[in-house]
Amino acid sequence: MRIAVVRFPGSNCDADALHAAELAGHQASFVWHRSADLAGADVVILPGGFSYGDYLRPGAIARFSPVMQAVTAHARAGGPVIGICNGFQILCEAHLLPGQLVRNEGLAFVCRPVTVRVESDATPFTSGYRVGQELRMPVAHGDGRYVADDATLDRLEADGRVVFRYVGNPNGALRDIAGIRNEEGNVVGMMPHPERAVESLLGSTDGLAMFRGLAIPAVVS
Amino acid sequence: MTHWIGRVRVMPRAGLLDPQGHAVEHALGALGFDGVQRVRVGRTVEIALEAGSEPEVRDRLRQMCEKLVANPVTEDFTIDAVEAAP
């Protein structure tokens, strides 16, 4: 698979995401946020960081970067897109996923390993896991509390679109939501960092299957 | 065309948890300010723009808020003031 890792000014998990994709056997390259295309990539990763310094709201400015038109077109055509941390915030601001990530309940920046439970394997990124499996990977965010109105939350639950749930909620996210997907399943957003859990040296390899799983043909609508 | 200044207030939606407001509320209590019942923290955004009339300014400010300045999922906005720029 050819994987594009989009770099915004302020991205800081871009190199880690590229490394994880390569470790899983993919051909990965960076795409600058001003690019009008995705250089023929099959899969898009919006990495973590602080695009545009989190000014206004995290992801609020990045969503208007030129590359986001190509990302949106890719997503609408069924192409796999994953937003990790700041990438998740950008996907919500871009309305590719519902809801929003707001300031952590405790106000503190939370940077530590957490446990998440896989709630959906019906995405190109989680097909390598089984539902109910618990994974260990780090979170590192100040604005990671997932919120949406009750109707949206009920719909996400009913449609099986909650992808990851915290076991021990670090930020006050409603219904312990750590990651969700769009209706079709090809767009996933998550606050924890699977790309920081791909080698035993990093303390966990639980995130690797997320990138390995992409070898399986993508779910295309 | 006239130069205008618009002031837009963006606040966390009523009923939503506002951890910043809570933190300020506690700090005010710790400083001895009695009787503080509630604090909410939002932001004011000042936008200078050129437009023909005040209704046009308000209409454009509203569009700006809907598209970028506020997030309708968690925030409400009000256009506090529209003045001709000095």
Q: From CA B81, how far away is CA B78, in angstroms rounded?
A: 9
Instruction: Give chain A's domains with CATH numbers.
Output: 2-215 (3.40.50.880)
CA nearest neighbour of B45 among B80, B83, B8: B8
| Residue B2 contacts A, CB cutoff 8 Å | no
More confident residue, A220 or A28: A28
Per the listing, tokens 């309708």 go with B72
Is the confidence at residue A217, as pLDDT, over 80? no
Residue A221 has pLDDT above 60, yes or no: no
Contact A56 B73 (CB under 8 A): no
The predicted model gives A87-112 an average pLDDT of 96
Task: Write out the two tokens for A124.
Answer: 């190109």
CB contact under 8 A, B69 and A56: yes
Cβ neighbours of residue A48 under 8 Å, at least 6 residues apart? A11, A12, A13, A17, A84, A85, A86, A87, A140, A141, A193
Share of chain B above pLDDT 70, in %: 100
pLDDT computed for residue B85 by the predictor: 83
* Residue range A57-89, pLDDT digits in tens: 999 999 999 999 999 999 999 999 999 999 999
B73 touches chain A (CB under 8 A): yes
pLDDT at A220 over 60: no
Count of A-B CB contacts under 8 Å: 29
pLDDT confidence of residue A215 = 60
CB contact under 8 Å between B73 and A149, yes or no, is yes
Alpha-carbon dihedral A62, A68, A71, A73, rounded to 10 degrees: 150
Encoded tokens for A208: 């690797």
pLDDT on residue A208: 96
Which residues lie below 8 Å from residue A201, measured CB to CB, with a gap of 6+? none
Q: Tell me the residues of chain A between 61 and 90 that have a Cβ less than 8 Å away from chain B.
A: 64
- Tell me the average pLDDT across A175-182: 98
CA atoms within 13 Å, Cβ hemisphere of B13: 13
pTM of the model: 0.93
Q: Which residues from A are below 8 Å from B16, CB to CB?
A: 147
A211 pLDDT more than 80? yes
Say what the pLDDT of residue A31 is. Answer: 98
CA distance A54 to A133: 33
Of B19, B23, B71, the CB nearest to A57: B71
B-chain residues within 8 Å CB-CB of A107?
A: 19-20, 23
**Average pLDDT of the residues in B74-85:** 92
Torsion, CA A173, CA A174, CA A179, CA A182, rounded to 10: -140
* R_g over Cα of chain A: 15
Residue A2 has pLDDT above 90, yes or no: yes
Mutation test of the interface with chain A: which of B45, B71, B75, B77, choosing the one with the most A Cβ atoms within 10 A? B71
Given a cut of 60, is residue A216 above it in pLDDT?
A: no
Q: How far apart, in whole angstroms, are the C-alpha atoms of residue B62 and residue B47?
A: 12
Instruction: Tell me chain B's radius of gyration from C-alpha atoms.
Output: 16
For residue A141, which of A180, A101, A96 has the smallest C-alpha distance? A101
Q: What is the pLDDT of residues A132-172, one digit of tens each?
A: 999 999 999 999 999 999 999 999 999 999 999 999 999 99
| pLDDT exceeds cutoff 60 at A218 | no
Angstrom distance (rounded) from CA B70 to CA B65:
5
Interface pTM, i.e. ipTM: 0.84
Closest chain B residue by Cα to residue A89: B71
Question: Is residue B82 scored above 80 in pLDDT?
Answer: yes
Mean pLDDT, rounded, of chain A: 95
**Contact yes or no for B68 and A147 at CB 8 A:** no
Q: How far apart are CA A86 and CA A94, in angstroms?
A: 12
- Average pLDDT of chain B to the nearest whole number: 94
Count of positions (residues) in chain B? 86
Q: How confident is the model at residue B4 (pLDDT cuts 50, 70, 90)?
A: very high
d(CA B53, CA A173): 44
Q: Minimal Cα–Cα distance from B35 to chain A, Å? A: 24
Q: Which domains does chain B have, with CATH numbers?
A: 2-84 (3.30.1280.10)
DSSP per-residue codes, B21-63: HHHHHHHHHHTT-TT-------EEEEEEEEESSHHHHHHHHHH
The pairing of strands B75-84 and B2-12 is antiparallel
Q: Which residues of A are catalytic?
A: 85, 193, 195
Q: How confident is the model at residue A212 (pLDDT cuts 50, 70, 90)?
A: very high
Query: Picking from A82-86, A99-103, A198-202, B79-83, which range would have the lowest pLDDT averaged per residue?
Result: B79-83
Quick: pLDDT tens for B33-52.
Answer: 999 999 999 999 999 999 99
- Say yes or no for a CB contact (<8 Å) between B73 and A60: no
- Give the model's confidence band at B17: pLDDT under 50 very low, under 70 low, under 90 confident, else very high: confident
